[in-house]
Structure 1
Amino acid sequence: MHKILLSWAFGLMLSLPAFSFQSEECNCATVFEEVVKGVEANYLPLKLKGTGINAGAYQKRIANFRSSIQSVSPEKCSESIQEFLNFFEDEHLFVFEQPEYTDDQLEGFKTKIKASKIEKQQLIDDVLNYRGKEKLVGFYWDGTSTLAILPKGDLLEVRIIESTNELVESGEMKASFKATPENYFGTYYAYNYAPRYIEGGLYKQYSLFSLNGGIRWKKIKPADLKKDLASFNDPTLPYFTDLSNGVTVFTIPSFSADYQQFISILTENVPLLQRTTDLIFDIRGNTGGNAIYFSFIDAYAKQNLRSSQGRVLASEPTQVYFERLAKNSPEIYQPVVNRIKEHMGEVVDGPAYPERTYKPSTDFSFQKVAILTDEGCMSAAESFIIHSKAVNPNIQTFGKPTAGVIDYTSVNAIPIPSGKRNIYFGYPTSSLHMDIPKNGFNKTGIVPDITISKNEKDPIQFIVDFWKN
């Protein structure tokens, strides 16, 4: 599938291992060699038959990058190594960085950004007067600020219009991106002015910009700029829309949303769901997160979720990953740890997830359930589709094929010696099931039961009309 970036990979342990003492300098050539070793030692598809990985082409790619990486600066290191990893076309194989800066460095970034401000009304006028074809151009809300995105030479600049953060000012730079046919990449400035490398994709009919790190920017209308910022909702959180006549839309932009807030919103809308006969899940642009969907899947389940098991490549980092999981669920993960210890470097059976028992709900009476998807759905969003259809075969999927980032899952991240750049290498620990790469989804995505044309202006209404007919 084409290049799309994750918010946070499904199953990624967010309590990342701490870096031990290291030099402040980042030598990208050294980082590259460590990543190559990491791929060789941990990446399951390299050990499986039938994956289609061209070993000769991969070795040639290593040689080419080994030559060019010598001159790459620390600031460009993550970008260059991610380009190297793109060979595998697996969005669960990646690097990301969490750079550390001194107070003086942060003050320097801040001074430079404030010195290059653009007048607020000029930003607004420039967006309104834009007549080009770049779909990313427009106004957005990131949960803290309203933003304007405009072309600037060969880049796309993101600047703040208004913010609830009192430390920032209108017209300040928030990010800059380079557009490619597949995605966007560039530099993102946190609200303390710390820059880092970032990638993202534009989904949901060009209305949702999903960036790695769990960041979501929702496109807003020019009239929305006149609203009080307090009236905007967090763009990562789910929301419900009552279409009347028993039809409800449950929009889930991300499965990496705050769990407590997610459950709170779900609980508040139970009365609406109890009146609902036709339920539509809109997960377009949902690039993943965690298996938070198990908190509500029982509401429409009709049968049990069958047991499942995949495979794992035994390595020391993967052993540590499953040891962490075994602390809470030893009956599932400790056997995996034992197999890894006994067969280091080999492919072993992964976690055996037991059957989940479900009975038809007496609290809800959904007659129809649909899931609306697009090319931005990946990882946990794809897992949600698979599990939902497994417990309720009558569920229909509409829209476009998903991204195809699910065959290799349960992502672990390990630190790579990289000075103050704090670069991490992420990789999938497990296969979706025992037969992978056969009967997988990474090559095609999850193809919907009913395809909706990209020219369809209102996919939600399309589903409603489809059900009526």
Structure 2
Amino acid sequence: MKTMSRLLFTLTFLALGTVSLRAQDCTCAETFEKVVQVYENDYALFHIKVTETNRALYDANTNLFRKKTDRVSAIEECLPVLEQWLQFFRDGHTYIRFKGNSAITDTRRSIVMDKNVFLKQIKNIKKTKTHKDNDLLGIWKYGAYEVGIMPKKEANNEFIGVILNSTNVLWKLGDLKFELKQVYGNDYEVVYYMDNNSGRKLKGKLQNQEHLELIDFNNWVKVWPSNTHTVTKAEEAELYSDFHFRMIDGKIPYIRFPNFYEKEPAFVDSLIQAHHQELVNADFYIVDVRDNNGGNDAVYKPLFPYILSGPIQTPNYGLWLSKGNIDIFLDGRKPEELDEEGKAEYDYLSSLTGSVFWPDGDEYASTSIPDTLYAPHQKVAVLINKKTISSGETFVYRTRQSEKVILYGQNTAGIIDGFNVLTRRIDCFDLNYPSSLRAKDVAKNPIDPYGMAPDVYIEENLDVLKFAIEHMSILIDKK
């Protein structure tokens, strides 16, 4: 039974129905044991990350944290202990969030707010002694979002970012995009709300008056009030944070992908087609996926006819079939509620419990090639760094097989050996873990946690774009 028609295709990014509990019903020790059970039974890479060689180390680490959880009295203080234990796996697709005792699973809140109201409030707030010189307050932009940052009521060191404008249809005026709590100086703890309404815990730093960095995630630029001395840098930062095509020096096409979720494949395809002549006539062009935090692989595929030089291989993926994962694949349905075909698939999957199922059979990889390949003798500079993650990395994995491509920058993040993240509600927490394997040889040929190396390594403090242009120009001249 090689092909699963429906159950398997409900796999990607499913979330198990959550059950809210009161805080007093949650204890750190009990939650820890449940998290350990999920990872030992359901985490796709557990038997790769924990082997006979390091099993004693894993057991000792687990017992150490088990003792720590016994000493945690307040459930809110359990999160850092759980996070530290999960770090053993060194998996960027592994994370846990504290959900509290709220019966509301939709964590995104809306505030009655528009730009005029916001501006009026901020102007009054900045007249106060407490916030007179606060550079955080104002209007900030990243990609599809424009937010107003203002203080939380009755909290001098806590702030909220409220949507003032968004081209992402999932967000509307007044939605709460993130919350910030000042730790010390310009350092902040951040809760960033995702499209599925869950809150992601991040670190933030106000790098300067017009640059707010959410560490290892994204960068925001202030658009009001603007510092006239840094307008140019602010404009560059704003451009960098959004998907776009532009010509550098009138002759070098540059395509920026800050992520692969804010634009649809059709939008990317139409933009590429509109600039077809510039792309095929150039000696080389640049694709920038630095700080790309992933999304949908389909978004970058319209570029394949321009970037590939021939066939590429994509490893066939595997599904870790535990009882817990199979139950999630059912998407809340009971086996007896399935039709005849669905029941047969369920019974087949259940017979494989405790093993990896490879939907595409025994072959290591599938081979694909676009119907059309443009400018086969052209070169393409792909810019990467340690914040190129998830689907950003799969883009690099596929395109580096092209003879046209040269990678510039630093190693990618290294978080794609496990994917198809599932969410499990465990007491007062949401636990996220990969349920699938990238390839059959991830144990012998891993990409995690070190990432993929560039062809030309460039220090982080150097101008990678400028270097790549100069380096590629010399290559073209010599050729």
* 1:268 counterpart (262, 267, 271): 271
Pairs within 5 Å for 1:342-381 = 342-349=351-358, 351-352=360-361, 354-362=366-374, 367-381=378-392
CA–CA distance in structure 1, aligned partners of residues 403 and 329 of structure 2: 32
Partner of 1:401 in structure 2?
411
| Cα shift at 1:65 | 2.5
**CA shift digits 1:183-234 (9 cap, x unpaired):** 975445899xx9956125789999684579xx7442347774789xxxx979
Q: How many residues align?
A: 411
| Cα shift at 1:395 | 0.5
Instruction: Give the letter for the 2:448 counterpart.
Output: N
Q: Report the CA distance shift for 1:309/1:74 in structure 2 as closer, same or farther (over 3 A).
A: same
| Cα shift at 1:387 | 0.8
SS at match of 2:394: helix
Partner of 1:430 in structure 2?
436
Partner of 1:23 in structure 2?
21
Calculate the TM-score normalised by the size of structure 2.
0.68
Partner of 1:88 in structure 2?
89
Equivalent residues of 2:97, 2:199 under 8 A apart: no
Partner of 1:440 in structure 2?
446
SS at match of 2:313: coil
CA–CA distance in structure 2, aligned partners of residues 334 and 295 of structure 1: 38
CA–CA distance in structure 1, aligned partners of residues 99 and 469 of structure 2: 44
RMSD of aligned residue pairs (Cα, Å): 4.9
Instruction: Give the letter for the 1:448 counterpart.
Output: P
Pairs within 5 Å for 1:36-435 = 36-48=36-48, 54-70=54-70, 71=72, 73-96=74-97, 100=102, 119-120=125-126, 125-127=133-135, 140-142=140-142, 143-146=144-147, 163-164=164-165, 174-176=179-181, 185-187=189-191, 196=199, 198-200=201-203, 209-210=213-214, 216-220=218-222, 224=226, 237-259=242-264, 263-276=266-279, 277=282, 278-292=284-298, 293-306=300-313, 308-320=315-327, 340-349=349-358, 351-352=360-361, 354-362=366-374, 367-390=378-401, 392-406=402-416, 408-418=417-427, 421=428, 423-435=429-441
| Cα shift at 1:450 | 0.6
CA–CA distance in structure 2, aligned partners of residues 146 and 198 of structure 1: 18
**CA shift digits 1:158-203 (9 cap, x unpaired):** 565994587599xx99312659xxx975445899xx9956125789
Equivalent residues of 1:315, 1:340 under 8 A apart: no
Equivalent residues of 2:203, 2:215 under 8 A apart: yes
Equivalent residues of 2:418, 2:437 under 8 A apart: yes
SS at match of 2:88: helix
Instruction: Give the letter for the 1:95 counterpart.
Output: I
CA–CA distance in structure 2, aligned partners of residues 271 and 177 of structure 1: 45
CA–CA distance in structure 2, aligned partners of residues 18 and 244 of structure 1: 53
Q: Which moved more, 1:377-386 or 1:282-291?
A: 282-291
Partner of 1:467 in structure 2?
472
Equivalent residues of 1:238, 1:265 under 8 A apart: no
Unmatched runs of 5 consecutive residues or more in structure 1: 1-10, 129-136, 325-332
Q: Report the CA distance shift for 1:350/1:106 in structure 2 as closer, same or farther (over 3 A).
A: closer
| Cα shift at 1:452 | 1.4
Calculate the TM-score normalised by the size of structure 1.
0.70
Unmatched runs of 5 consecutive residues or more in structure 2: 1-9, 113-117, 166-171, 232-236, 332-341, 475-479
Q: Report the CA distance shift for 1:126/1:148 in structure 2 as closer, same or farther (over 3 A).
A: same
CA–CA distance in structure 2, aligned partners of residues 119 and 203 of structure 1: 19
CA–CA distance in structure 1, aligned partners of residues 301 and 345 of structure 2: 23
Q: Report the CA distance shift for 1:368/1:378 in structure 2 as closer, same or farther (over 3 A).
A: same
Q: Report the CA distance shift for 1:92/1:461 in structure 2 as closer, same or farther (over 3 A).
A: same
CA–CA distance in structure 2, aligned partners of residues 339 and 196 of structure 1: 36
Q: Report the CA distance shift for 1:334/1:453 in structure 2 as closer, same or farther (over 3 A).
A: farther
Partner of 1:13 in structure 2?
12
| Cα shift at 1:255 | 1.8
Equivalent residues of 2:160, 2:178 under 8 A apart: yes
Instruction: State which structure, 1 or 2, has the greater radius of gyration over its C-alpha atoms.
Output: 2
SS at match of 2:254: strand
Equivalent residues of 1:302, 1:359 under 8 A apart: no
| Cα shift at 1:285 | 1.0
CA–CA distance in structure 2, aligned partners of residues 218 and 290 of structure 1: 22
Equivalent residues of 1:34, 1:416 under 8 A apart: no
Equivalent residues of 1:291, 1:384 under 8 A apart: yes
**CA shift digits 1:301-352 (9 cap, x unpaired):** 222223522444331233356677xxxxxxxx99997774333223454645
Instruction: Give the letter for the 1:403 counterpart.
Output: A
SS at match of 1:296: helix
Q: Report the CA distance shift for 1:411/1:57 in structure 2 as closer, same or farther (over 3 A).
A: same
Partner of 2:3 in structure 1?
none
Q: Report the CA distance shift for 1:309/1:438 in structure 2 as closer, same or farther (over 3 A).
A: same
Equivalent residues of 2:313, 2:366 under 8 A apart: yes
| Cα shift at 1:367 | 1.7
| Greater RCO (Cα-Cα under 8 Å, separation 6 or more) | 1
Q: Report the CA distance shift for 1:60/1:403 in structure 2 as closer, same or farther (over 3 A).
A: same
| Cα shift at 1:405 | 0.9
SS at match of 2:408: strand
**CA shift digits 1:209-265 (9 cap, x unpaired):** 4579xx7442347774789xxxx9798751222214431211111123253xx6325
Equivalent residues of 1:249, 1:280 under 8 A apart: yes
| Cα shift at 1:145 | 4.3
CA–CA distance in structure 2, aligned partners of residues 412 and 189 of structure 1: 17
**CA shift digits 1:380-404 (9 cap, x unpaired):** 11111011123x2320100111111
SS at match of 1:355: strand
SS at match of 1:267: helix
| Cα shift at 1:378 | 1.4
Instruction: Give the letter for the 2:42 counterpart.
Output: N
SS at match of 1:56: helix
Q: Percent identity?
A: 18
| Cα shift at 1:417 | 3.5
Q: Report the CA distance shift for 1:435/1:394 in structure 2 as closer, same or farther (over 3 A).
A: same
Equivalent residues of 2:193, 2:200 under 8 A apart: no
Instruction: Give the letter for the 1:263 counterpart.
Output: A
